[in-house]
Amino acid sequence: MKKLKKVGLITGGILFSGALFLASCSDTDTTQPQKEKAKEEQVTKQDKQEKATSQGKNTSTDSKETAKPATKPKENLKPVTLGAGKFKVGEDIPAGKYVVSTQAQSGNFVVYDNLGLAEVNEILGTDTGFAVNNVTVDLKKGQTIEISGINSVLFTPKEGVSANKTSQQTEKSATAPNKTNSSPVTLGAGKFKVGEDIPAGKYVVSTQAQSGNFVVYDSLGLAEVNEILGTDSSLAVNNLTVDLKKGQTIEISGINSVTFQPKK
């Protein structure tokens, strides 16, 4: 009888140990999937956060790319009056194309480039014997204007092409068709662009002035025509035939009025 009791105790112990082992395995199997599921949820949440951050950056970049920079409005030129002295283009007067005139009898009017070389050098005034008036100039930023012997000089903006035009306007004017030279053109002292101030074509050039300088420069700045134009036959020529091409520059100095008569 004692052996039977001992065997029962041993059997009961084995059964109890087996139950504990099964319970332990059950707990392990249940806990592992829960941990893996939690890890997957954490990875998914992190991916969503990274995606949202990436989309936010892309949206910010796109908004920067689509945003257009503010365009500076084009400055409208107004008449400017200067007295005697030296003045800086871009500071004392805006750059642009002007017709320069005075009510004084005569005085000196000079425009220097950035290197100090005179681009315009005229006796400005109402005395038609040796002075010119209504001089056309295309002032560029950085140039220096010098006025002497005159109390008041008026700079009136000239309609048409100016030194302030944009590159887009330049390209547009370059591709635009030329106007035909069917009508006479009159120009005063100053610099003028063929194709802008006067149509390209063949002309007979003349003046009623006694003498003055008439020069035509090519696109490289080399003089193709260089004459003393006027009625004084001892030192000047008149009724000069020229074939003007687009892009050339005409320079007239010492003459108030030059007529370009189209030649057939």
**Does residue 161 surpass a pLDDT of 50?**
no
- Confidence (pTM): 0.64
Q: What is the C-alpha to C-alpha distance for residues 66 and 98, in angstroms, rounded to an integer?
A: 39
Q: How far is CA 202 from CA 23, 176, 224, 240, in A?
A: 113, 20, 14, 11
The confidence score (pLDDT) of residue 41 equals: 58
Q: Same fold for the domain at 75-159 and the one at 180-264?
A: yes
Residues whose CB is less than 8 angstroms from the CB of residue 161 and which lie 6 or more positions away in sequence, other chains included: 97, 173, 193, 196, 197
Residue-wise pLDDT for 29-60, tens only, equals 455 555 555 555 565 556 656 555 555 555 54
Predicted confidence at residue 68, as pLDDT, reads 56
Q: SS3 of 105, please?
A: coil
Dump pLDDT digits (tens) for 46-100.
Answer: 665 655 555 555 554 454 455 555 555 556 899 999 999 999 999 999 999 999 9
Domains of the chain, residue spans: 75-159, 180-264
Lowest mean pLDDT among 60-64, 215-219, 255-259: 60-64
Largest CA distance in the chain: 164
pLDDT exceeds cutoff 50 at 264? yes
The top-level CATH class assigned to 180-264 is mainly beta
If you classify domain 75-159 with CATH, what class do you get?
Answer: mainly beta
